[in-house]
Amino acid sequence: MINRQRILLQFLKEAQRPVSQSELTAWAFLLRHEYKTKGGRGFYQFIPHDVGPFSFVLNHELKNLREFGYIRPSNEQAWILCDYEFPAITDHKVADDVTRVIHDFASHDTQQLFDRIRQRHPAYIPKSGQPIVAAMSTLFTAGIEGISIDRFLGRLIDNGIQRMIDIRHNPNARRFGFHQTTLERIAEEINIDYVRLPELLCYSCSQQTTSAEGEPLAFDRDRNLNLSKERIASARVAALAQELPSAVFCITAKPEHCQRTQVAAAVSAMGNLSIHHL
């Protein structure tokens, strides 16, 4: 069990009462944003949502904790611990911050918690201001390697992106949130359009992307195979990007090691778009 899951269980243990999912989310958010340890390495990240700060990973892992018998619903709105021992938080400083969160906020109701978040972290409350919208003269690119679904979505939202264009070779990812069907559902929930373009499949990101010396490998051999299809697909990306602020995304973190860089260059030339790598 990873530390962030232990933190959720410790919240429930120290609260000594049923805790709503909204409360758990708010406590985790406040731990992340208002305490020195920020919940430790790999802790949950949050995005603005209609309900306030939200983490798809946190929600997913609460369901897993229920399946494994660590928690159960006390009613439709709240969670309680089962009579089950669970591993302690390994970082004592994080454990101390968890105790502080409970001391500071366990007596607050949900409205008080979100009033505090609205006052101190207004960017996470969508109704508190107009959303950022990127200029449609820019095509963004992104890689999902090494980040959570919440971090990825946060980057899109922070940059005003309203459409994601998936050019991965294999969209059936094991990491939560990145499998095509899950990502389509999540994108719809946060009002971001999802488009998959198999004509621009990024083969190189599913294989080796650097040489033994660490230099990026050339992608030209792969791209020369289907140039006519790629030109048509690139023209479609240009049209899509001119309709809504868009990001082309694949796997590899560094754009210089990923075929999306050449895809973006081709689209840029067709649509007179600038390129911004997230």
Confidence bin at 174 (pLDDT 50/70/90): confident
What are 63-107's pLDDT values in tens digits?
A: 999 999 999 998 768 999 997 789 999 999 999 999 999 999 999
Question: 8: buried, middle or exposed (CB in 10 Å: 19+, 13-18, 0-12)?
Answer: buried
Confidence bin at 128 (pLDDT 50/70/90): very low
Q: Which phi and psi (to 5°) does residue 195 adopt?
A: -130, 130
Q: Tell me, rounded to whole angstroms, the distance of Cα 5 from its chain centroid.
A: 17
pLDDT at position 180: 94
Give yes or no for a contact between 57 and 151, defined as CB atoms under 8 angstroms apart. no
Whether pTM > 0.95 for this model: the answer is no
Least confident of 115-119, 212-216, 269-273: 212-216
Least confident of 27-36, 149-158, 221-230: 221-230
pLDDT at position 207: 46
Domains of the chain with CATH codes: 3-128 (no CATH), 138-277 (3.40.1010)
Separation CA 107–CA 1 (nearest Å)? 28
* Mean pLDDT, range 229-235, rounded to an integer: 77
Separation CA 54–CA 141 (nearest Å)? 24
Residue 211, pLDDT > 80, answer no
pLDDT at position 201: 64
Q: Which phi and psi (to 5°) does residue 202 adopt?
A: -95, 85
Residue 268, pLDDT > 70, answer yes
| Of 19, 10, 11, 31, residue with least CA distance to 86 | 10
